[in-house]
Amino acid sequence: MKIGVLGAGQLGRMLALAGLPLEMQFSFYDTSGAPSVGIGNVFIDQGGTGKDLDSFLADVDIVTSEFEHIPLDLARKIESRKMLLPSSESTRVCQNRGEEKRLFTKLGIPTPKYHLVDSLAAFESAVEQLGCPVVAKTVTDGYDGKGQAVIRDPADVASAWNRIGNTQLIVEKFVNFSRELSIIAVRSKSGQLAFYPLTENTHHEGILRYSVAPAPRISPELDKQAQCYIGELLEALNHVGILTLELFETEQGLLANEMAPRVHNSGHWSIEGANCSQFENHLRAIADLPLGDCQAQQPTCMINIISEKGDIQGLLRLPYAHIHLYGKDERKGRKLGHVTVQADSYKELTWRIRNVAAHLPGSPEYHPTENR
Ligand code: AMP
């Protein structure tokens, strides 16, 4: 099967690495002008003018995507000519934080209190009604904490509006969560479902740094609750492929933060940590093949390599470290690769994570959540 991928970054690269053993072939459609995928046929259409779209589509049987910020008219145009999975409807909802929140609310999935605003006056009124602190986010295009502001004093609203205000913002009540979790699930074309375990995520300066799976100290009820939420989202969107739901764990239970209609950084642990990785399961789902086993074989952690590659030689000497580099040049805040470690216990895992982090300059210290 010939798979076309919209986007040509590390997620596309890892999809291809998972699909080659299944005799899949890959073509990528890049609109950034800077593809880093390093594998398969790459069609570059800088600025998304539609140039080369015909050649890309002629080269593939089915199209999927490694990012959700695709212009909707492009997604629909592709959909009118080839099978696009997930569909443009999943993209439409997941590229807009307002639409996501509306769907959470419609399905009864708890989410932080929020207001959608499109003027400074509406922003001020939302902050007054919610009460500080609040988090303001651009409704579209934000990622890795970009386009966001935490407002602790109503006097700061105008400067936040000038800095991130565009046509629309979502203003959310700041949540005092105990930790951040994500759940990744997959739905095949014929409706089969499979769920990866809840994963515990640690962010630093808005960027994911550590993902531990299965998240420690999760009750069967909480796991079931998360599966129930994402299962409802998959069905409501008629989604085919991987869907990721980011959650806050609070004393009152889980709150849905946002979702992504694609393979996700918090699922990279599954390459070594599960029998079937998120990448392979995404491909199986869109190709309508039986889904693979999502269970974590043992406590596993993914450590992101951000900004600088660090001491790769030193990492290669650690017998338990699996190193993935994405073929990208160093730049502040850029995801350059990741390392996966596994261990028989969470205690041993913590030591291994710290040994890896010691080779990565700028890595925040790793603290298991029970010690925070
Ligand atoms: P997001 O782009 O929505 O995933 O937000 C980036 C990060 O900001 C999250 O991973 C959280 O650490 C933090 N954050 C987002 N929304 C809230 C909120 N309502 N309350 C507290 N922290 C938040």
- Cβ(136) – ligand 1 distance below 6 Å: no
pLDDT above 60 for 159: yes
3-state secondary structure of 247: strand
Encoded amino acid at 357, one letter = A
CATH code, 120: 3.30.1490.20
pLDDT attached to residue 145:
66
Q: Which of the four pLDDT bands, split at 50, 70 and 90, describes residue 372? A: low
Name the residue at shortest CA distance from atom 1 of ligand 1: 145
Indicate whether 189 belongs to any domain.
yes
Q: Which tens digits make up the pLDDT trace of 163-184?
A: 887 679 999 999 999 999 999 9
- Of 113, 257, 264, 266, the one to substitute when testing ligand 1's pocket (max ligand atoms within 8 A of C-beta) is 257
Q: Which numbered atom of ligand 1 lies nearest the CA of 145? A: 6
Instruction: Answer yes or no: is pLDDT of 315 > 70.
Output: yes
Cα–Cα distance measured from residue 232 to residue 212, given in angstroms and rounded to the nearest whole number: 25
CATH number of the domain that residue 55 is part of: 3.40.50.20
Ligand 1 lined by 175 (C-beta under 6 Å): yes
250 and 198, same structural domain? yes
Q: How far is the CA of 350 from the centre of ligand 1 (A)?
A: 25
Quote the pLDDT of residue 165.
Answer: 74
Q: Which pLDDT score is estimated for 259? A: 97
Considering the domain architecture, whether residues 141 and 266 belong to the same structural domain is answered as: no
The residue whose CB lies within 8 Å of the most ligand 1 atoms, and thus the one to mutate among 94, 111, 135, 255, is 135
Average pLDDT over residues 74-84: 96
Helices H / strands E in the chain, number of each = 12, 18
Long-range CB contacts (< 8 A, 24+ apart) of 26-33? Answer: 26/2, 27/2, 27/3, 27/56, 27/59, 27/60, 28/4, 29/4, 29/5, 29/53, 29/56, 32/8
Indicate whether 20 and 135 sit together in one domain.
no
Q: Is residue 240 domain-shared with residue 334, that is, in the same domain?
A: yes
Q: What is the mean pLDDT of residues 127-147?
A: 87
Task: Tell whether 98 is covered by a domain.
Answer: no
- Judged against a pLDDT cut of 80, whether residue 65 lies above it is answered with yes
Cβ neighbour number for residue 117 with a 10 Å cutoff: 22
Whether residue 186 sits in one domain with residue 165:
no
Identity (one letter) of the amino acid at 86? Answer: P
CB-ligand 1 contact for 147 (6 Å cutoff): no
Taking the C-alpha atoms of residue 43 and residue 55, their distance in angstroms, rounded to an integer, is 8
Q: Which residues contact 358 (CB under 8 A, 6 or more apart)?
A: none
- Residue 90 included in any domain: no
* pLDDT over threshold 90, residue 329: yes
Structural domain of 286: 179-371
Kindly state the tokens that stand for 108.
Answer: 């009864």
pLDDT band at 143 (very low <50, low <70, confident <90, very high): low
- In angstroms, the first-to-last Cα distance of the chain is 47
Report the alpha-carbon distance of residue 141 to residue 145 in Å, rounded. Answer: 11
State whether the beta carbon of 100 lies less than 6 angstroms from ligand 1. Answer: no
Extended beta strands in 112-154, E state? 114-117, 134-138, 148-151
Cα 166 to chain centroid, rounded: 23
Residues 41 and 184 reside in one and the same domain:
no
The DSSP symbol for 142 reads -
Are 214 and 289 within one domain? yes
Distance 42 CA to ligand 1 centre (A): 34
Does the beta carbon of 150 sit less than 6 angstroms from any atom of ligand 1?
no
* Mean predicted confidence (pLDDT) in 321-340: 97
Which of the 8 DSSP states describes residue 225? Answer: H
The answer for residues whose C-beta is within 8 angstroms of residue 21's C-beta and 6 or more apart is: none
Residue 145 Cβ < 6 Å to ligand 1: yes
- Residues 206, 132, single domain; the answer is no
Average pLDDT over the chain, rounded to an integer: 95
Provide the pLDDT for residue 294: 98
Considering the domain architecture, whether residues 246 and 190 belong to the same structural domain is answered as yes
Q: Is the pLDDT of residue 371 over 60?
A: no
CA of 249 to the centre of ligand 1 (A): 12
Contacts of 73 (CB under 8 A, 6+ apart): none
Q: Do 228 and 354 share a domain, yes or no?
A: yes
Q: How many domains does the chain have?
A: 3
- Going by their DSSP bridges, the two strands 25-30 and 2-6 should be labelled as parallel
| Cβ of 68 less than 6 Å from ligand 1 | no
Which atom of ligand 1 lies nearest, measured to the CA of 258?
3
> Could you tell me the two tokens for 15?
């999809």
Considering the domain architecture, whether residues 197 and 167 belong to the same structural domain is answered as no
CB atoms closer than 10 angstroms to residue 212: 28
pLDDT in tens, 17-40: 999 999 999 999 998 889 999 999
Do residue 158 and residue 213 come from a single domain? Answer: no
99: in domain: no
Distance between CA 228 and CA 217 in Å, rounded? Answer: 19
Nearest Cα to 211, choosing from 260, 269, 250, 261?
269
Does residue 222 form part of some domain?
A: yes
Q: Look at residue 198 and tell me if it is in a domain.
A: yes
Any domain includes 244? yes
The Å distance, Cα 192 to ligand 1 centre, comes to: 31
Residue at a domain's end among 67, 84, 101: 84
In a domain, 100, yes or no: no
Residue 93 pLDDT > 80: yes
Q: Which residue has the tokens 């500080």?
A: 132
246-277 pLDDT tens trace: 999 999 999 999 999 999 999 999 999 999 99
